[in-house]
Amino acid sequence: MLTKLLVANRGEIAVRVLRACAEQGIESVAVHTAPDAGAMHVRLADEAVPVADYLDRDALLDAALRFGADAVHPGYGFLAEDAAFARAVGAAGLVFVGPPAEAVAAMGDKVVARELASAAGVPVLPAVTTSDPEAVRALGAEHGWPVLIKAAHGGGGRGMRLARGQAEVGTALTAATAEARSAFGDGTVYAERYLAGPRHVEVQVLADAHGTVAVLGDRDCSVQRRHQKLVEEAPAPDLADGMRAAMAAAACRLAGAVGYRGAGTVEFLVEGDSFYFLEMNTRIQVEHPVTELVFGVDLVHEQLRIAAGARLGPLPSLPRGHAVECRIVAEDPSNGFLPVAGQVRELTVPWAPGIRFDTGYEPGDTVPPQYDGLIAKLVAWGPSRSAALHRARTALAAVVVTGVPTTAPAAAAVLAHPGFTSGPVTTGWFEDVVAPTLAEEPEPAGAAREAGGAWIAGRFHRVPQQPRPGVEPGRLRDPAPQRGARSGPGRGRAAPRTAGTGDGRLISSAMQGVVSGIEVAVGERVTAGRIVARVEAMKLENPVHAATEGVVEAVCVRLGQAVAAGEILLVLAAATVDGTAS
């Protein structure tokens, strides 16, 4: 049995694990960086220790050993899928609450994961595991266009480009390789057939150290923006019984093939009556609560039991009812889902039957700009899908968050949309259908507008705001953002406006963050709407577009540089007829 656990994470998932420890009588140790010194997970832990960086393996292991922990739980994100960390935890004589390092490494390399899935009889999309342009062109010629170029060691849409035909292969390969190298330290990419309108369905597995692998149903996670999930539900609606059983069997085979242990998720793309392996997440998932509510199983408790050597006991074979989860993230849906840091001044939650609210924040806590902006997850259960959706809509309308804008209005728009309530949607549905309407929400009139504020669950709440560069004080938001052109596998989403001078020659960052990409060089001619730089904030990378045509006169920042909202990134000069600067 585990006696003391170090939680190598922060925010909502750290709070979730700490509470599970308290329920099982396990002492807990939290770690925190300077921005998180007063965070909720620090207040809840039995002990807490500061670290300079959540990614510092040595510091985390030193903290675990100094405080007498016998196990480490990585949560999700950060080092949760880092094979080197899992290996180091074991080498230090500690228990890693997760799968063996070998399974983490195998599933973390998408090329290797595809090969193992195929060997286990799991359907995979046609692909080539080479960056040779001619091989990619041959793939497209044989199986059809478009072809998707993907980073072998990435996720979240990073290092991903779409080639719609032979002429785009070279550019797509170059861009995907560069972004993969910048984001993940490895420029390895591969290409596979692209599905234009798939669903994203995943299967929850549990495996113990004694060879038992079990499935706890499936989830639909197709409502996404920027390849990040927004609304999830279990079980996946409108799946044929035969396909549901086949996906469960495929997930079991793959978990068994890699010697899996603990909680894991096998993700699939579903198109028509076919499904294809996407990836395996070797950790607890953000959306695990919907599975817990329909199966009555605490997955974090099971993780801790399995890590302590226990065998899996009898588990339910069928779900009961339906559950839906809405992620409440510190982002501004009316401005291209830009991440926003700040203090959560008010957090009001409706307590009602069938409602669960997982959070890592309390009123007065600050959402720091350095990390993921997930504030909470509102989860609703009902005896049927329609009942669960009704409960979720009612509860979400009563949630109040002030101090920062959140994705609650976006989730409310999803739950109310007939396209969602009538059945399953595809991964591009939200960005094609719902996201454009969020930027067009009418502003409140009169005193409410003058006071400033934010839309929370479909209602306007007054919130004092810092004026944005180039925006008159008191306005709720900029005018409707310019629609972004389709780029890569993403859909036509609202692109953040470029702040700067009136003629668009000064290109500045719309948010505080870190420069994660510079897409142009001095002397290069750019067209209006082209992505010229990328700024990462709270784990989301946001493109910066040129507002006008011109020639790059100066690049004012470097990769990895921290920038403030409104800080100048590039300067454009007007272009002459021959393309040179005037």
Question: What CATH number corresponds to the domain at position 143?
Answer: 3.30.1490.20
Regarding whether 79 and 12 lie in a shared domain, the answer is yes
pLDDT for residue 576: 62
Between helices 133-143 and 169-184, what is the axis angle to 10°?
A: 120
Q: Is 142 a member of any domain?
A: yes
Which residue spans within 42-126 are E strands per DSSP?
47-50, 71-73, 95-96
Regarding whether 86 and 131 lie in a shared domain, the answer is no
- Indicate whether 294 pLDDT > 70: yes
Answer with the one of 161, 193, 225 that is the final residue of a domain: 193
Q: Which of 11-20, 150-159, 278-287, 392-401 has the lowest mean pLDDT?
A: 150-159
- Indicate whether 466 pLDDT > 50: no
pLDDT for residue 457: 41
The 3-state DSSP class for residue 258 equals coil
Contact of 497 with 482, CB cutoff 8 Å: yes
User: Percent of the chain beyond pLDDT 90?
Assistant: 66
Q: What is the four-CA torsion angle of 263, 269, 273, 274, rounded to 10 degrees?
A: -90
pLDDT in tens, 485-538: 223 333 333 333 333 333 568 998 877 778 888 888 899 999 888 889 988 776
pLDDT for residue 462: 39
pLDDT for residue 515: 87
Answer with the one of 97, 113, 138 that is the final residue of a domain: 97
- Indicate whether 444 pLDDT > 70: no
pLDDT in tens, 100-156: 999 999 999 989 999 999 999 999 999 998 778 999 999 999 999 999 998 887 666
Residue type, 290: V
Regarding whether 157 and 81 lie in a shared domain, the answer is no
Q: Is 78 a member of any domain?
A: yes
Q: How confident is the model at residue 433 (pLDDT cuts 50, 70, 90)?
A: very high
Q: Which candidate, 467, 516, 501, 482, places its Cα nearest to that of 335?
A: 482
Regarding whether 92 and 37 lie in a shared domain, the answer is yes
Mean pLDDT, range 448-470, rounded to an integer = 38
Q: Can you give the pTM of this predicted structure? A: 0.81
pLDDT for residue 580: 60
Total residues belonging to the chain: 582
Regarding whether 78 and 40 lie in a shared domain, the answer is yes
Regarding whether 134 and 91 lie in a shared domain, the answer is no
Q: Is 401 a member of any domain?
A: no
pLDDT in tens, 66-91: 999 999 999 999 999 999 999 999 99
For 91, the domain range is 4-97
Task: Give me 184's structure tokens.
Answer: 């993940």
- Indicate whether 195 pLDDT > 70: yes
Q: Is 219 a member of any domain?
A: no
The pairing of beta strand 27-32 with beta strand 4-7: parallel
Mean pLDDT, range 328-355, rounded to an integer = 92
- Domain tally, the chain: 3
Average pLDDT, the chain: 86
The pairing of beta strand 513-518 with beta strand 506-508: unpaired
pLDDT for residue 540: 67
Mean pLDDT, range 358-366, rounded to an integer = 97
Q: Is 120 a member of any domain?
A: no
Q: How confident is the model at residue 453 (pLDDT cuts 50, 70, 90)?
A: very low
Mean pLDDT, range 311-328, rounded to an integer = 97
pLDDT for residue 152: 82
Q: Is 530 a member of any domain?
A: yes
User: Percent of the chain beyond pLDDT 70?
Assistant: 86
Q: Is 238 a member of any domain?
A: no
Answer with the one of 171, 193, 215 that is the final residue of a domain: 193
Instruction: Count the Cβ atoms, other than its own, within 10 Å of residue 124.
Output: 16
- Indicate whether 217 pLDDT > 80: yes
Q: Is 160 a member of any domain?
A: yes
pLDDT for residue 123: 97
